[in-house]
Amino acid sequence: MNVKEYISSGILEAYLLDEVTPQERMEVLRMTQLHPELKRELDRTETTLKSFAMKASVSPRKELKNMIMAKAEQALNGARSSKLIRLNPLPFWKYAAAASVVVALGTSYLAFNYRQQWKEANVALTDLIARNQRVAQNYNVVNQKLEKIQDDFSIIESSAFKKVVMKGTAGEPNALASVYWNATTEEVFLSIQNLKAISADNQFQLWAIVDGKPVDAGVFDTGFPGLLKMKSIKGATAFAVTIEPRGGRTAPTLATMQVVGTAG
């Protein structure tokens, strides 16, 4: 049989999906032993299938692992205790022994049964504890979001913060962003209304004009909720945003300026 043709029929893929007849399975096993190249091809196809499945991963909930481990342990203990029951001694005095065996079996069964129930309760408890932790985590996340909204709101509302609207430059008439700047504490917060999407290699950079010179106020990516705290700035007369290589630069690339606004 021509190995190349055999491979291109797709038989290896069908074999890996466990969708071959018993005869075909035997044939694949025999052929892979005869032809090392076929074995290599099978191995490579298996590796590809595995990489693909890894790509398609969806993590299960964290607590599932504990439940499975507990059940596996339980299955193992179950197998051991059923062996013990079978090892009970055979009756010597017919009646008395028979009765004692019945009692022993009954007791073993009850003990086993209670142990199972206890284990199940334990698994359920672990599950509940895990769920409880998850609820607590969710609560914390929501709480942090709420605090962030309250903080942002207090900045927007505060008279100590000056709102500097940065309007789009000639090349980007629709771009719009704002800075909330506290001249006393020198704090700077950024809010984006509209900035275009840029490639992952680049980042936006905020500049403040201080004494006529541009000063770096930090780099940022779009997509954050509410306000973003930037570097503190003293004595700014204007703010502007440019596009720079990821990580930012020490001097602005004026050609990529997106928005600008005076703080006067």
Partner 1 sequence: MTRLKRKESAALDYLYDHYSGALNGIVFRIVRDEDVAEEILQDVFLRIWDKIGNYDSSKGKLFTWMLNVARNLAIDKVRSKEITKAKKTDDIDNLVHKIDRQESGELAVDTIGLTEVLERLPNEQKFVVEYLYLKGYTQTELAEEFKIPLGTVKTRLRLAMIELRSILNVA
- Contact footprint for partner 1 (CB under 8 A): 7-14, 16-19, 29, 43-61, 64-65, 67-69, 71-73, 75-76
Q: Which is nearer to partner 1, 19 or 211 (CB)?
A: 19
Which two three-digit tokens encode residue 202? 């680049």
| Distance (Å, whole) CA 237 – CA 162 | 12
Work out how close the CB of 67 gets to partner 1 at its nearest, in angstroms, rounded to a whole number. 7
CA angle (156 as vertex; 151, 157 as ends), nearest 5: 95
CA angle (197 as vertex; 191, 201 as ends), nearest 5: 105
Q: What is the side-by-side order of every strand in the sheet holding 176-182? A: 213-220, 202-210, 236-245, 259-262, 161-168, 176-182, 188-194, 228-230
Q: What is the dihedral of CA 61, 62, 63, 65, to 10 degrees?
A: 100
Query: CA dist 224 to 40, 202, 237, Å?
Result: 49, 16, 26
